[in-house]
Amino acid sequence: ESWPFLKDLDLWIIDGLRYSPHPSHFSVHDALSWIERFKPRRAVITNMHSDLDYEVLRQTLPPNVVPAHDGMRLAVA
């Protein structure tokens, strides 16, 4: 019943712990699949494990998706 509310969000902050599957967190692949499904205008992948290379991830994500970082600020209207 909640799925329609996730469609076309202005901003979606979504978990993406690591590249490999995890029993209680989304992987980066999972997060990107959900982002593709619901098509938010912007998405931020958060809760990333330290073994993910921020710069590599930043360069490979779609243009509307960014990896979160410590101290990150987001403008919302």
Q: Is residue 45 part of a domain?
A: yes
What's the number of domains the chain is made of? 1
Judged against a pLDDT cut of 80, whether residue 41 lies above it is answered with yes
Q: Taking the model in full, what pTM does it have? A: 0.90
Q: Is residue 74 part of a domain?
A: no
Q: Is residue 43 part of a domain?
A: yes
- C-alpha span between 73 and 13 (Å, rounded): 12
Per-residue confidence band for 8, with pLDDT thresholds at 50, 70 and 90: confident
15 bridge partner residues: 46
pLDDT score recorded for residue 25: 94
Percentage of residues in the chain having pLDDT higher than 90: 83
State pLDDT tens for residues 48-76.
999 999 999 999 999 999 999 999 999 88
Q: Is residue 72 part of a domain?
A: no
Cβ atoms 27, 21 nearer than 8 A: yes
> What is the residue range of 28's domain?
3-67
